[in-house]
Amino acid sequence: MPPRPLTQLTLALLKPDLTANSLKVSKVLGHIQQNDFNIVAHKKLLWSKNDAEAFYGEHRGKFFFERLCGYMTSGHFHALILEKPNAIPEWRSLIGPTHPPRARINAPDTLRSLYGMTDTRNSFHGSDAVSSAKEEIRFFFPEYDFEKWEQQTEK
């Protein structure tokens, strides 16, 4: 019998272009549940420029940095902690390629294909590794108790 995949946490962001339409948010939340993700925590946020620059600091100096920060401060967005075995690759697979027009060709059933607009306005974020997931979750949910979660998942 193969080993059971490890349960993971990942950060999911539903970005301002998507959340401007509450019907789209409801549909995406439905996709999340249909794909067996457990929504551990959920916040609706409105960022200042300083918030966006802090989160995307690793991209400072890149050509898209100012555009990305402007986009992420253009309206409310949602931050979620998702849980599931292999949550990180599963969420990234569900949202699809970063560039929505390419996603429509190469991965037409993904969320970015369905809801994304451009490479910047791509509607979603997903952590890319266990270490970044933990760091990103702490950024949005500093109150989240990882130790308690780890003890519960071990049972």
Instruction: Answer yes or no: 125 catalytic.
Output: yes
Is 112 marked as a binding-site residue? yes
Is 67 marked as a binding-site residue? no
Is 122 marked as a binding-site residue? yes
Residue 130's φ and ψ, nearest 5 degrees, are -60, -45
Catalytic residue of the set 76, 78, 99, 125: 125
Is 64 marked as a binding-site residue? yes
Is 60 marked as a binding-site residue? no
Q: Which residues are annotated as a binding site?
A: 15, 64, 92, 98, 112, 122
Active site residues: 125
Q: Which residues are annotated as a binding site for ATP?
A: 15, 64, 92, 98, 112, 122
